[in-house]
Amino acid sequence: MAIDFSCDLHMHSTYSDGGGTIEDMAKSAIEKGLTTIAITDHMPLPFKPWYSVDMDKIQAYRNEIDRVRTLYGHKLTILTGLEIEYMPEISDWIESIVDLGWDFLIASVHGLLIDNSQYLINENEEEFNKTLNIVFNGDIRAFCRQYYHFIQQAASTGVCNSIGHLDVIKKYNQSNRYFDEKSPWYREIVEETLDVIKAHHLKMEINTAGFIHPIGQAYPSTWIIKSAIKRGIPIVMGSDSHAPETLGQYFEQARDLVCALKKNLIPPL
Ligand SMILES: [Zn+2]
Ligand SMILES: [Zn+2]
């Protein structure tokens, strides 16, 4: 299945935590020769964290995407999207947002909700450690298992189109500081998650923001991309841009990686 590297289906505008307006993102996409973008700001959350779209502004957000589409739609396909932040405790809230109707929804897990407090996974390493130590007593296996369990639940809801940054739990795992991806326990939970993604007909994103994160590589890892391709899971590209300049960032590297994988030129691990 061919991957369309002219589509960037993951980005944030000033409606959530991005630095550019929706119009800035569209203009930059056209300059960079992209053919399709999905505006996927962080969905509103009941506890209103700093990084998500305000629920009061959700209609304005949708209207603004429509307005920009009327201006640039002849040059660029613009999808009205959101990055859904899956947490089982707020599934009714999520459903009410999904019901508004969207072109493209990403299912991501960024954190856990414990006693109404949010414990984040990929905000910064200090937060990651706090979640690991306070919620999981330092047990990285339990942390990873819970993370992938939530991804599986998010996929099972069947309301999203794609899984975002599948293995973002490795964000600070440079030099295997927290776990070894080759460990059977880790590989098992990831493979099981890919089975669930396949069973629910979701796409999987190659998220190139990982190249500028501490781990310095795409999400997910090469062996996971290979395993997804083998299962016939459709793959989409997402730069997870928070600024117009980074649209399509590292897509060339991702293309080279996928080509090499398909030709068996690089070992998956
Ligand atoms: Zn995300
Ligand atoms: Zn994002």
**Domain holding 229: CATH number?**
3.20.20.140
Q: Tell me the residue type at 108.
A: S
**Does 127 map to a domain?**
no
Ligand nearest to the CA of 242: 2
C-beta separation of 211 from 171 below 8 A? no
pLDDT over threshold 80, residue 80: yes
Cα 265 to ligand 1 centroid, rounded to whole Å: 30
**Does 125 map to a domain?**
no
Residue 267's pLDDT band, with cuts at 50, 70 and 90, is low
Tell me the pLDDT tens digit for each residue of 48-77.
889 999 999 999 999 999 999 999 999 999
Ligand nearest to the CA of 13: 2
- The domain of 174 spans 7-108+142-262
138: which 2 tokens? 């330092």
Cα 123 to ligand 1 centroid, rounded to whole Å: 10
Cα–Cα distance between 256 and 231 in angstroms, integer? 20
| Average pLDDT estimate for 25-47 | 97
150: which 2 tokens? 């939530």
Please state the pTM of the whole predicted model.
0.96
**Does 184 map to a domain?**
yes
Cα 164 to ligand 2 centroid, rounded to whole Å: 8
Cα 108 to ligand 1 centroid, rounded to whole Å: 6
| Average pLDDT estimate for 222-234 | 96
Ligand nearest to the CA of 12: 2
pLDDT over threshold 80, residue 31: yes
Q: Tell me the residue type at 76.
A: L
* Per-residue pLDDT, 262: 84
Pairing of strands 117-120, 111-114: antiparallel
Cα 263 to ligand 1 centroid, rounded to whole Å: 30
Q: Burial code of 91-102, b = ≥16 C-beta within 10 A, e = fewer?
A: eeebeebbeeeb
Cα 117 to ligand 1 centroid, rounded to whole Å: 19
* Helix (H), strand (E) counts: the chain: 9, 9
* Per-residue pLDDT, 157: 94
Cα 165 to ligand 1 centroid, rounded to whole Å: 7
pLDDT over threshold 90, residue 40: yes
Counting Cα atoms < 13 Å in the Cβ hemisphere of 118 gives: 19
Cα 136 to ligand 2 centroid, rounded to whole Å: 25
Bridge partners of 219?
207
Residue 269's pLDDT band, with cuts at 50, 70 and 90, is low
| Average pLDDT estimate for 243-255 | 97
C-beta separation of 172 from 125 below 8 A? yes
Residue located via tokens 């500028």: 212
| Average pLDDT estimate for 184-203 | 98
For the chain, what is the domain count?
1
**Does 99 map to a domain?**
yes
Residue located via tokens 């999905």: 38
- DSSP at 80: E
Bridge partners of 119?
112
Tell me the pLDDT tens digit for each residue of 120-144.
999 999 999 999 999 999 999 999 9
Cα 240 to ligand 2 centroid, rounded to whole Å: 5
**Does 247 map to a domain?**
yes
**Does 95 map to a domain?**
yes
CB atoms within 10 A of CB 134: 12
* Per-residue pLDDT, 83: 98
Cα 110 to ligand 1 centroid, rounded to whole Å: 6
